Amino acid sequence: MKNYYQEKLKTSAKSFHKNNRGERFSDGLIIRHQYEEANLAKLSWWDDVGFILNDYLVNISWIHPRMAFKDQAEDEAHKRVAHLDTGVNDLFSQSEPNYVKTGKSRKKIISHTIKEPLLSSGWAAAFDAAYAEIIKTTDLQTTPFIKSEWTASGRFVEICAPIEVRNEQDLIVIANLTRKLLKRETTLEIEFPKYTYTKSDWNMENQS
């Protein structure tokens, strides 16, 4: 049975691509970053790219497993210091609104002025300590994954794969891999059999 909501999104996505002339393509890809001065020895963390598949736009958000590993540690650190969060992460709770007149008796907020430094509460220090402890003691691990969802303007894909992206050629590898995955011509298990990023990998990469 068809999911009519998903079918509606697909139709909208194809219509959006057909009528959209704002994106600039380079060899069939939407490349949003410049890599002329990229350090080829530097570890890569994330990137994005777009391409057309079956008359709709595919927007890819790629991360390396080391980024997923870091995200896991940060998520856990947030949980550990959640009891200290009394609005310190809400910038507007520590700010004063700045108004501009829009009439004789009307005004609207155009900006906010922070009343005190966000770090003064000690929350950031507690978070950093929790993060460091998690990285040191917790056996976190990440594996490649792909997630896909339809939007009214195209298909959005999140992919985590152990590929270094330092230039446009590397980005093409990500795009081609994603295309094959969406067309079910391969799987992440086939491409990266039994791959797992662990604390050992993190420690090896972050040795001083």
User: Quick one: pLDDT band at residue 172, thresholds 50, 70, 90?
Assistant: very high
Please give the pLDDT value at position 182: 95
Please give the pLDDT value at position 93: 56
Q: What is the pLDDT of residues 70-124, one digit of tens each?
A: 999 999 999 998 888 655 455 455 556 665 544 444 455 645 564 555 444 688 8
In angstroms, the CA 176 to CA 179 distance is 5
pLDDT higher than 90, residue 24: no
